């Protein structure tokens, strides 16, 4: 027995002397926490059940004013327990118990010369069969990320499209008029069962999808109109801009006529599409507003914040008794800036707000703020039920979306649309 080389402190030397340690490996064990050496043993121990996590327990006792620690290993380990020597410090006593466990495991040939387990954890037989793997590929397999229908006939500009209508089963209680929406795909979609949407104010409605059997022949101008409308929907409703390459698009969106009759065996599905609104959206990125625009032109429009796409409104009417620099009414939804109505409308940061200039004589619009919901399949929360929707905004800082339409038969309700990508 002797002292090896040099020690960091007296306690470490005491551990080695009391255990009769005369090797460099024992010196490393005594210095670098031997209980760390027990971790590889736990990793290969198979628990009795899948819910149990193997772990080591340490129990400390006092004998003659000295601390003595006993380490308890899991019941199915090759060593059940080990008792360390007595020391004046708990940390040293704990290290002594772990040190003793490592020595006993080494003597029992459960640890090799590097103090690593000599046995390995066995995985369940034929586990690859459960994961659709073969014997050569043990860590990866083909995963289906999306249905094959979205990539069918993909890679070229289509000449015919199949139309699927998306409509609400009931419109009772909705605050705004609405019309069905159409999705046009390269191949016919299978039958989709009705599913429930949770709308604002706690209202619910089933969505009915009808896949028409007859396809629509589309030429280059018609496809350009559908592409323009689809792009505008994503920009105005979702504040997302995508590269609209018609050869790489899987589907297109289109508005339908208000009172159209939908049937699976309809032989002329092209008559269901509101081509007038498609033409209007293609020719107008947005509806222009000037100080000379009549107040009636600002009613029943879909407004989008130019600087924050997450803020969207449905206009109700112009409020002639309010001015742009008036204080924000108390019943308006809260906003970061509340100095006046014009300040309430602009969502720029401080430096940009200081540089921006707006007309003080523009009208004030009573509007409903669109609730920022992405998943309409979940029930509306209690917090969302008590949120304020009423807003007072000015038209100049906002963009009037072209999908608002210009006449009654073109009015298209965008409320159900945010549920579409999630569905």
Determine, yes or no, domain membership for 99: yes
The pLDDT value recorded for residue 420 is 38
Q: How far apart are CA 17 and CA 395, in angstroms?
A: 86
One domain, residues 172 and 309? no
The pLDDT value recorded for residue 121 is 61
Task: Count the domains in the chain.
Answer: 3
The pLDDT value recorded for residue 125 is 61
Q: Is 360 helix (H, G, I), strand (E, B) or coil?
A: coil
Q: What is the tens place of the pLDDT at every residue in 85-136?
A: 888 888 888 888 888 888 888 888 887 877 777 776 666 665 555 555 555 5
**Is pLDDT larger for residue 18 or for residue 152?**
152
The pLDDT value recorded for residue 1 is 34
The pLDDT value recorded for residue 269 is 87
Q: What is the dihedral of CA 146, 149, 153, 154, to 10 degrees?
A: -30
Q: How far apart are CA 37 and CA 412, in angstroms?
A: 68
One domain, residues 122 and 247? no
One domain, residues 29 and 118? yes
pLDDT exceeds cutoff 60 at 69 = yes
One domain, residues 160 and 254? yes
Q: Which two tokens stand for residue 229?
A: 């409308």
One domain, residues 12 and 134? yes
Q: How far apart are CA 73 and CA 86, in angstroms?
A: 20
Determine, yes or no, domain membership for 369: yes
Q: What is the tens place of the pLDDT at every residue in 388-417?
A: 889 999 999 999 999 875 433 333 333 434
Determine, yes or no, domain membership for 135: yes
The pLDDT value recorded for residue 185 is 94
One domain, residues 251 and 334? no
Determine, yes or no, domain membership for 417: no
The pLDDT value recorded for residue 122 is 62
**Is pLDDT larger for residue 145 or for residue 64?**
64
**Is pLDDT larger for residue 185 or for residue 310?**
185
The most confident of the ranges 6-15, 54-63, 181-190 is 181-190
Give me the domain span that covers residue 359: 286-407
Q: How far apart are CA 72 and CA 329, in angstroms?
A: 70
Percent of the chain residues past pLDDT 70, beyond the cut:
77
**What CATH number is attached to the domain comprising 55?**
3.30.160.20
Q: Within 13 Å, how many C-alpha atoms sit on residue 120's CB side?
A: 3
Q: Do the Cβ atoms of 363 and 395 come closer than 8 Å?
A: yes
pTM: 0.62
Q: How far apart are CA 362 and CA 368, in angstroms?
A: 19
pLDDT exceeds cutoff 60 at 207 = yes
Q: How far apart are CA 207 and CA 191, in angstroms?
A: 13
Residue 91 — left, alpha, or beta (φ > 0 → left; ψ -120 to 50 → alpha)? alpha
One domain, residues 399 and 293? yes
Determine, yes or no, domain membership for 150: no
Work out the angle between the directed axes of helices 24-31 and 90-107 (0-180°, nearest 10). 140
One domain, residues 330 and 355? yes
Q: What is the mean pLDDT of residues 157-173?
A: 87
| Cβ-based neighbours of 129, under 8 Å, separated by 6 or more | none
One domain, residues 160 and 270? yes
The pLDDT value recorded for residue 6 is 36
Q: What is the tens place of the pLDDT at every residue in 372-389?
A: 777 888 888 888 878 888
pLDDT exceeds cutoff 60 at 30 = no
Which among 208, 209, 211 has a CA at the least distance from the CA of 189? 211
**Is pLDDT larger for residue 238 or for residue 37?**
238
One domain, residues 1 and 35? yes
The pLDDT value recorded for residue 119 is 72
Work out the angle between the directed axes of helices 275-283 and 220-238 (0-180°, nearest 10). 70
Q: Is 61 helix (H, G, I), strand (E, B) or coil?
A: strand
Q: What is the tens place of the pLDDT at every residue in 352-364?
A: 888 888 999 999 9
The pLDDT value recorded for residue 141 is 58
**What CATH number is attached to the domain comprising 380?**
2.170.260
One domain, residues 255 and 311? no
**Is pLDDT larger for residue 19 or for residue 308?**
308
The pLDDT value recorded for residue 10 is 43
Which among 400, 413, 374 has a CA at the least distance from the CA of 302? 400
The pLDDT value recorded for residue 26 is 52
| Cβ-based neighbours of 363, under 8 Å, separated by 6 or more | 295, 298, 318, 319, 320, 324, 394, 395
């Amino acid at each position: 027995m002797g002292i090896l080389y040099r020690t960091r402190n007296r306690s470490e030397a005491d551990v080695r002397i009391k255990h009769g340690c005369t090797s460099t490996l024992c010196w490393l064990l005594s210095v670098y926490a031997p209980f760390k050496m027990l971790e590889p043993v736990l990793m290969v121990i198979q628990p009795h059940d899948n819910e149990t996590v193997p772990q080591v327990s340490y129990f400390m006792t006092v004998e003659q004013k000295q601390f003595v620690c006993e380490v308890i290993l899991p019941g199915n380990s090759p060593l059940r327990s080990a008792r360390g020597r007595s020391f004046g410090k708990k940390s040293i006593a704990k290290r002594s118990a772990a040190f003793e466990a490592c020595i006993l495991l080494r003597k029992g040939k459960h640890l090799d010369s590097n103090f690593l387990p000599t046995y390995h954890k066995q995985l369940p037989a034929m586990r690859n069969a459960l994961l659709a793997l073969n014997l050569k590929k043990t860590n990866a397999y083909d995963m289906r990320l999306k249905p094959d229908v979205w990539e069918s006939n993909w890679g070229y500009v289509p000449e015919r499209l199949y139309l699927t209508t998306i409509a609400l089963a009931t419109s009772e209680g909705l605050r705004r008029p609405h019309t069905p929406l159409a999705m046009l795909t390269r191949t016919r979609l299978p039958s989709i069962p009705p599913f429930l949407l949770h709308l604002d104010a706690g209202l619910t409605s089933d969505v009915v999808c009808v896949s028409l059997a007859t396809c629509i022949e589309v030429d280059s101008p018609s496809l350009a109109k559908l592409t323009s409308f689809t792009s505008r929907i994503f920009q105005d409703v979702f504040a997302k801009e995508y590269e609209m390459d018609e050869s790489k698009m899987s589907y297109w969106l289109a508005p339908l006529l208000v009172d159209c009759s939908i049937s699976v065996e309809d032989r002329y599905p092209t008559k269901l599409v509101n081509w007038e609104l498609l033409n209007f959206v293609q020719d107008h990125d947005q509806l222009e507003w000037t100080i000379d625009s009549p107040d009636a032109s600002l009613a029943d429009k879909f407004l989008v914040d130019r600087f924050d796409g997450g803020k969207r409104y449905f206009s109700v009417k112009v409020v002639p008794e309010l001015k742009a620099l008036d204080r924000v009414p108390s019943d308006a939804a809260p906003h970061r800036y509340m100095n006046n109505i014009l300040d309430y409308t602009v969502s720029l940061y401080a430096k940009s707000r200081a540089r921006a200039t707006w007309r003080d004589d523009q009208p004030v619009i009573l509007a409903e703020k669109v609730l920022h919901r992405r998943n309409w399949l979940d029930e509306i929360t209690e917090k969302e039920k008590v949120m304020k929707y009423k807003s007072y905004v000015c038209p100049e800082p906002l963009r009037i979306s072209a999908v608002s339409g210009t006449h009654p038969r073109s009015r298209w309700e965008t409320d159900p649309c945010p549920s579409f990508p999630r569905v």
